[in-house]
Structure 1
């Protein structure tokens, strides 16, 4: 092998190690066997815009929960479909958003809420067990019932094209700064967005969604608002508790959804974590490039080491993916396609945000 080939392979193997440092673990709420104390009344707030086809699993899962001391407020954000009719059919109280956008809808719901605790849920989430909600609430209580406890739902995929989101799902978690080998040594980038639990007093003390209205990454901004008031923000994985299916409408919706937020959200990632992400992604291309080059030149030694590196990246990416979703292992031998898609959409998002200063989402053009 040439010196350049050796250097490239060495960088690739270092990138694998960096990957483990970058995404050391994704804790989930730990449930105690100690006797559980009474929980306060809860308000579940679901902002919804044209969610007719996605909100039903969530509402069904809420009906099945062992804990039932809650109200459901679906805040309709100018839907043009049957979202409100579906919500009412499951006993939810429907509110009409007085403004426009998710933050405005969440704020309006919080103002009308009766509960001591507030749970903000995206319409495409669902609880995966009858005790999921109860376990989440008791975990929050044991944490002192202060600030935010936010879960990143376990991503459920059903169709093949949905697997191209896998690298995004990994980076969304890693980009929160909390899941490296150093744990919470870095300051959190904010909060996960699809499932946010907080108490009413802390929410209004922070300014809530009213303070962050207009923010593209409302979840990160809300977490920052809580941190500014010295309120804790706990971010964990939702595996076994809550799941979501992202962009079932097709590839177009998937691209639009990730483009909407990714370049903006990456600005909140700590520079050290971002550097590790860049090195890990670069290593994935080094591994695949080295394997292709060794086969083309029919270099047995290079084929051996580049093959080992490629297999390591395949296994590592699949392992990371298993923490965040039910992605099929059969797709990961083709992992370069997944990384290429990620880089392409990230660049597209960067251009839309930094040059055109606008993104599109659900029929709205959003200025950034």
Structure 2
């Protein structure tokens, strides 16, 4: 092998190690059989815009929960479909949002909530067990019932194109700064957005969604608002508790959704974590390039080492991805396609945010 081939392989193997350090663990709330009698009344607030086809699984899963001391407030954010009637058919109270956007809808719901604890849920989430809600509430109680506990739901996929979100799902979790080998030594980037639990007093003390209205990444901004008041923000995985299916409408919706959030959200990632992410992503291209080069030159030694590196990246990508979603194993041998798609959408998002200063989401043009 040439010196350059040895260097490339060394970089690739080093990137695999960096990947392990980058995504060391993803804890989830513990499972408990404790009685729910000591838990307070809960208000579940669901902002919804044109969610007629997606909100039913969530509302059905709430009806199946063993813990029943809650109210459901669905805040209709100017929907043009039957979101409101679907929500009402499950017994939810439907509120109309006088403003525009998710933050405004959440604020409207919080102002009318009766519970001493508030749970904000995206309409495309659903609880995956009958004790999922009580497990989340018990965890919050054990941590002192202060600040925010936020879960990143386990990503469920049904169609092949949905797998192109794999790298995004991994980076979204890693980018919160909390899941490296250094644990919580870095300040969290904010809060996960699809499932946010807090108590009423802390919410209004922080200014809540009213304070962050207009922010593209409302979840990160809400976490920052709590941190500004010295309130804790805990982020965990949702596997076994809550799941979501992202962008079932098609590839266009998927691109629009990731474009909306990624270039802005990455600004909150700690520089050390961002460096790890860059090295890990770069290593994926190095591994694929080394294998292609060794095959082209038919260098048996280079093929052996580059083949090992490629397999390691395949296994590692699968390992990380299966922490955050039920992605199919057959996808991972083609992992370079996933990384290329990530790079392309990230570049597109960066241009939309920094050149055109606008993104689109659910028919709205959002200035950034």
- TM-score, normalised to structure 2, is 0.99
Aligned to 1:184, what secondary structure does the other structure show? helix
d(CA) in 1 for partners of 2:302, 2:37: 62
Please report how far the alpha carbon of residue 36 of structure 1 lies from its aligned counterpart in structure 2 after TM superposition. Answer: 5.5
Give the structure 2 partner of residue 30 of structure 1: 30
> What per-residue deviation string (whole Å, max 9, x for no partner) do you get for residues 105-161 of structure 1?
000000010000000000000000000001110110011000000000000000000
Q: In the alignment, which residue of structure 2 is the partner of 1:85?
A: 85
What are the superposed Cα offsets for residues 37-66 of structure 1, whole Å, 9 maximum, x if unpaired?
511110000000000010000000000000
Q: Is the 8 A contact 2:32 2:135 kept in 1?
A: no
**Partner residue, 1:193:** 193
Aligned to 2:169: 169
Any idea what SS the aligned residue of 1:165 has? helix
Work out whether residues 155 and 245 of structure 2, in 8 Å CA contact, stay in contact via their aligned partners in 1. Answer: yes
The answer on whether the counterparts of 2:36 and 2:67 sit within 8 Å (CA) in structure 1 is no
Q: Are 2:43 and 1:39 aligned?
A: no
SS in 1 for 2:176: coil
1:249 maps to: 249
Given that 2:36 and 2:134 are in contact with CA atoms closer than 8 Å, whether structure 1 keeps it comes out as no
**Equivalent residue number for residue 360 of structure 2:** 360
Deviation at 1:35, TM superposition (A): 5.8
* CA pair 91-36 structure 1, distance change in 2 beyond 3 A: closer
Q: Secondary structure at the match of 2:47?
A: strand
RMSD of aligned residue pairs (Cα, Å): 0.8
Instruction: Deviation per CA, 1:72-97: give whole Å up to 9, x if none.
Output: 00000000001001000000000000
Output aligned runs, 1:1-368, within 5 Å: 1-32=1-32, 38-368=38-368
SS in 1 for 2:306: helix
Q: Distance in 2 between matches of 1:31 and 1:177?
A: 25
Q: Distance in 2 between matches of 1:34 and 1:63?
A: 20
Kept in 1, the 8 Å contact 2:122–2:194? The answer is yes
C-alpha separation in 1, matches of 2:263 and 2:100: 23
Cα distance in 2 between the residues matched to 1:219 and 1:40: 24
Equivalent-residue separation in structure 2 for 1:246 and 1:261 (angstroms)? 14
Provide runs of 4+ in structure 1 moved above 3 Å. 31-37
Distance change in 2, residues 1:34/1:75 (3 Å): closer
Distance apart, 1:164 and its partner CA:
0.2
Q: CA deviation at 1:70?
A: 0.5
- How far did 1:31 drift? 3.3
Q: Taking structure 1 as reference, are residues 75 and 34 closer, same or farther at Cα in structure 2, changes over 3 Å only?
A: closer
Query: Alpha-carbon deviation of 1:33?
Result: 5.5
Q: Which runs of 5+ in 2 are unaligned?
A: none
2:181 partner SS: coil
| C-alpha distance after superposition, 1:291-340 (max 9, x if no partner) | 00000000001000000000000000000001000000100000000000
Q: Distance in 2 between matches of 1:279 and 1:294?
A: 22
Question: Which secondary structure state, in structure 1, belongs to the residue aligned with residue 185 of structure 2?
Answer: coil
Question: Structure 1: where are the runs of 5+ without partners?
Answer: none
Distance 1:37 1:316 in 2: 43
C-alpha contact (below 8 Å) 2:107/2:208 kept by paired residues: yes
Paired with 2:115 and 2:197, the residues of 1 have a C-alpha distance of 12
3-state DSSP of counterpart to 1:12: helix
> Distance between the aligned counterparts of 1:138 and 1:311, measured in 2?
41
Secondary structure class of the residue paired with 2:183: coil
